[in-house]
Amino acid sequence: MTEEDQVHVPGETLHRLVHAYKRRLMHAMQAASMPMPISHKRVMKWIVKIPGITAQQMAEKSGQDKGRITRLLKELENDGLIERRPHPEDRRSQTLHLTAAGSAKMEDFRAVEKEVRSRMTSGLTPQQIHDFVEIANLMSDNLETHKCKKLDFAASGPKDQGVKK
């Protein structure tokens, strides 16, 4: 493997890991008779993490489009898993909270997620897991805080386009 090839490995490896994790999580949820999109679980996790969060705050923190968040919230509300309450300081906003049914679903989901996480980290030491989390967070921060420069492929040679000469 050339040095240039190695530069692309982290992205491909992370892509593979994310998809393998999602697949395993979906299979485990189906096996536990918990058919629910992972996107719904992510929204519910934000509500657990930050009680009283607003849809706008969730969109900002998650990097998701507010329209998408609003649609997911509506689906969860229709399923009786979340509820909206008036914001104590801003009459235009509503805070988000899990219902009793939503809390019960999250408890079930946590058990499934713990099982999948255990399988994913099998054979790793606590230090390796810690190091991985630190490195992945640093890489995420690097991507989220640095602006992307516009690439002019028309003016570049083949090497700049990732094509070997």
pLDDT digits (tens, 9 = 90+) for 51-65: 999 999 999 988 889
Cα–Cα distance, 63 to 34 (Å, whole number): 26
Residue in 24, 42, 23 with CA at minimum distance from that of residue 116: 24
- Domain limits, the chain: 11-138
Whether the model pTM is above 0.75: no
Give backbone dihedrals phi and psi of 85, rounded to 5 degrees, phi first: -130, 150
Sign of torsion over alpha carbons 120, 123, 129, 131: negative
Q: What is the pLDDT of residues 124-161, one digit of tens each?
A: 999 999 999 999 999 988 888 765 565 554 554 444 44
Give the count of beta carbons closer than 10 Å to the beta carbon of residue 142. 9
Topology at the third CATH level for domain 11-138: Arc Repressor Mutant, subunit A (1.10.10)
Enter the DSSP assignment of 50: S
Share of residues in the chain with pLDDT > 70 (%): 83
